[in-house]
Structure 1
Amino acid sequence: MGVNLKEIAERAGVSLATVSNVVNGYRPVGEQTRRRVQQAIDELGYAPNLSARHLRRGRTGIIALAIPELNNPYFAELAGAAMREATRLGYTLVMEDTAADRAAELALAGGSHRRTIDGLIFSPVRLSREDVLARTSDTPLVLIGEGVYDVPYDHIAIDNIAASHVAVRHLVSLGRRRIAFVGAQFGDPEGARSGDRDGVHAGAREGVQAGDHRQSAHLRLRGYREALEAAGLPFDPALVATTAQFGRRDGLLALRDLLARDRPPDAVFGYNDLVAIGALRAIAEAGLRVPEQIAVIGIDDIEEGRFSNPTLTTIAPDKEQIGRLAVRSLVARIEGRPISPPADVAPPFRLVARESTLGGRRLVD
């Protein structure tokens, strides 16, 4: 037989209601009392029946995290952080891979899982602001990623423009003057994109179906352009490479194209680390040295970049904090605790300078 709350109350010398408040977090309890109750819980080996607790409240105890690419290391690492926080708060986290499919994203936004989950953390790619505003499901929702803004839901994402400023300033500080941006998308409001040379960017015209100018690729391109102008460097559309997706192969093909031109870049800013790692491969194929001839930087700080050769300089978002904040925000909405109105939250990021811009040989961090 398992230990019950009455036994804990007797051991701690407090009321049953006090134990319930400590275990369930209903009301604040004095620190000394809370410690006595926690000591009794530890001594008796009490383990709450989370399923029964959720059922009593009319919930499933399950939350979902919907992402566009489960095999993308960034999302995998972020999912790990979210899963740890969900477990800590007594919830089970399930994964949903939308494959960046608009129909799948619309179904999720519309509440296709509303009877099996208590809430949804969602990173949409193909949805427009209007799609999200048209949502009628009452399942609590928290957005992550940079696809949609100005909607009545909590939204957690780094400041992409500021992150791009830091990346470009780092390259400029190293004396780089022909800095390429790799990972632009067709439909870019700046009108800055390279052409479809030799089929390198085949399929990119379908890249951002919603065409929202707030998409992360557009924001990072905007930050890149602003940082160049702040440094007194000209913006050259020929140094902006469009990609079909944001993977290693996309970076590889785009760099092959850029390196074949009369005036190749002396630095590359990849939309993300995967694009940057693909760029490193193309540079190696061309027999060029990194960073002596071309410096490379990405965004995401995925583990792979710490083991690439050379190791990859990157802008590192706090993925642990993003995962924790998303889960905490969602659980607060689910449980109806006093919370602030929906807000955009920008977690911190930092520059992690490694061999691909600084050279030398550095131990894996």
Structure 2
Amino acid sequence: MTDDRLRMTPGPTAVPAAVRERMSEPTPNPDVEPAFFDFYRDLTGKLEALYGGDDIVILGGEGILGLEAAIASLVEPGDRVLCIANGRYGEGFAEFVELYGGDAVVCDVPWRDPLDRAAVEAALADGSFDVATLVHCETPTGVLNDIEPVLDALADHDVISVVDAVSSLGGVPVPTERIDVCLGASQKCFSAPPGLTVCSVSDRAWRKIESFETDGFYTDLEPWRDAADEEWFPYTHLSSNLYGLDTAIDLLLEEGLENVFERHETAATRCRERADRLGLSIYPDAARSSPTVTALEVPGRAAPLQRTLAEEHDIVLATGLGDLEADVLRIGHMGHNARCDRVDRTMDALEAVL
């Protein structure tokens, strides 16, 4: 059976044949077979190379699990948490903070605007924050935030940083060495199936995590710190998904990260040049858009265009989210889909539909 449908969504992304084949291997029992713990330690070592250091934890659950687990593990009831936002996921961190009894202080700007370091500095001035959250790539708008000035401010105030890099890690340089908890996911730039959260945890973050008992279990990062070395997992791990992720990371490392980043930049440039020729504007603008996703402004037409592209051209795109649902059409050129031939097929179809 063949599937000619091209899914150019900003995650889940296309999964290479080698990853699918690896996932078809016999399923071990990850709780009792010593060889599986060796495999898991090897995989986390590869991810440490990609992240550039810090301990790696792989959780069995889609990327949102990582966002919740970071908050569940770092925030005690009554803690004030600074949620720095210019998009849906940045604002969404506040919901997790409140869910776990924290006091979320949202430092937000309109979705079209860049993060505001001055506002962050002003919020930090009273010295009452231990943890702050922010997003590198806001997938619903395609914005790639310049997070380093904000990380500077957090470092100056000794605040633990939690960064959602789910839609950028593996496709864009991420300053992981400056982030305390950096969150990624299998189904984005890694081009493995949905089902795994990947996060790096700094020593400073571990100290905070180990300083109190959380109210959760599945969302608690603490048991994972020494689990693999002690050859046990807090719950039965997703062995087939881990096999797929292992091959996906091998493909990235074999290609070389600099080459991977260049491929994403090239695909993004091609997409935006083609959009410009069609008279389409980029949300918010091309200069601040991520190499992994392009958001096209199509006021009131997003759903009809999405439907026609799928029905007539076998191409799947995503609309915007929230207030942008009807007005933005999103093209994901990330991971395995960050290739000019795939971008051209997509834009040829969009041109025909328009």
State the TM-score, normalized to the length of structure 1.
Answer: 0.32
Higher relative contact order (CA 8 A, sep 6+): 2
TM-score normalised by structure 2 residue count? 0.33
